[in-house]
Amino acid sequence: MTTRIPAKAKSILFLLSATGTTTLALHASKPNFSPDLVTSFPQRIGAGISATVRSSRALFTIASNIVDYKYSLHRIDAASDEYGALLSQVHLRAARRILKLCETNKGFYVKAGQFIAAMRQVPKEYAATLSSLQDQAVPCNFQAIKAVLIRNLGKDLSDVFMFFDEHPIAAASIAQVHRALLKDHQEVAVKVQYPGLEQQMILDTSTMSFLSTIVAWIFPEYRFQWAVLEFVKTVSLELDFIQEAKNSERTAKNFLKNKIIKVPAVFWEFTSGQVLTMELCRGNKVDDLEFMKRNHINPLKVGKALVDLFAEMIFIHGFVHGDPHPGNILVSTEGEHGFSLVLLDHGIYRLLDDDFRKEYCKLWKAMILLDAKSIYSIGERFGIGRYAKFLPLIFTGRTIDR
């Protein structure tokens, strides 16, 4: 189903697109980007043009969604069944427009789409539609990747590696991973950041913040401006490979005595802000039951080890992996217990202070003992007041009085 946008409403689209184009063009012209990302005047002009096109495309998409919501639901009683059905249709059309935008603009837009798809708070039409972005990752041209490697390592690849596979073994929205062999025959995985991401992040996240502000102004009930700030914070962390390497070593130290958990070792001599060289660890995704069956690995033992891993992170260390999807947790056939869990991608971590962790322990104790009074009391201290009644439903699937 499609909706024709009335002629008078098109002015909103053109106004937003023109405003955004001007704003982002000004951003693109600022000479405050890292010099090794845009190295010449023609490249800077090209980056400015690309930024203008990308931002204008985003602005037109969101403006189209705004008009669709406004005119499709105009004068419809919000309490009626018709409103609910129409709202679902508009959600779906809007989500499809955003999906097309993410697929076209790529880069951080794909990352943002993945971020939205993972949020429980968004309408189901958005989560379902944008979830297709989880598997989208187009590898970067190797010549561009090679330039990033040489610039960061300060040497030609032949001076560092005995072998370097030009074909990536994994690719994501901000980096790709290549298999290589160091001069001492150590097999490594080299994670390389796509060129120009720092500049692109500034431009794309500026556009997203601008759009979020516009939507909040037009729709006072919109409550997702915090999500843009969280996304920007998360992406900024992922772009710093030095910090990722430090997080990796801290986690390895935390689980030094745990013979089931494996964290790849970092090779600091060949690591920088845009290149991360680490020990190559083989394995299959933690949800690959067929792999476990073929290798006689008990999925229940893997599940218990996984629960123990994150329970220890939360309750003991207070240093928690922030992106634990199946692609970042591998099951390996190596290990004293017949298998091991390989923990990858340490860019995002959450620090939990002692007070929070103690309260969180008390919350679980209260839920297990069906102590509704304590649950409400803890909810007050967490700042969620009467909404504490939903905590047992979220964590255990049962209501507070069951």
SS3 per-residue string spanning 324-389 = CCHHHEEEECCCCCCCEEEECCCCCEEECCHHHHHHHHHHHHHHHCCCHHHHHHHHHHHCCHHHHH
**CATH, domain range 142-194+240-351:** 1.10.510.10
According to CATH, where is 1.10.510.10 located in the chain? 142-194+240-351
Distance from CA of residue 239 to its chain's centroid?
Answer: 12
Q: Please, what sign has the CA dihedral across residues 355, 241, 208, 138?
A: negative
pLDDT tens series, the chain, 402 aa: 444 455 444 555 555 555 554 454 444 444 444 444 444 555 556 666 777 788 889 989 999 999 999 889 888 888 888 899 999 999 999 999 999 999 898 888 888 888 888 877 888 999 899 988 876 667 889 999 999 999 999 999 999 999 999 999 988 888 999 999 999 999 999 999 998 888 788 888 888 888 888 888 888 888 788 888 888 888 888 899 999 999 999 999 999 999 999 999 999 999 999 999 999 999 999 999 999 999 999 999 999 999 999 999 999 999 999 888 888 999 999 988 899 999 999 999 999 999 999 999 999 999 999 999 999 999 999 999 889 999 999 888 888 877
**DSSP codes, 241-262:** HHHHHHHHHHHHHHTTT-SSEE
Neighbours of 289 (CB within 10 A): 14
323 flagged as catalytic: yes
Q: Which residue has the tokens 């989208």?
A: 136
Distance in angstroms (rounded) separating the CA atoms of residues 186 and 278: 10
- Of 36, 240, 287, 323, the catalytic one is 323
Q: What is the dihedral of CA 67, 70, 75, 77, to 10 degrees?
A: 140
Kindly report the number of other CB atoms within 10 A of residue 67's CB atom: 20
Query: Which residues contact residue 299 at a Cβ distance below 8 angstroms, ignoring those fewer than 6 apart?
Result: 289, 292
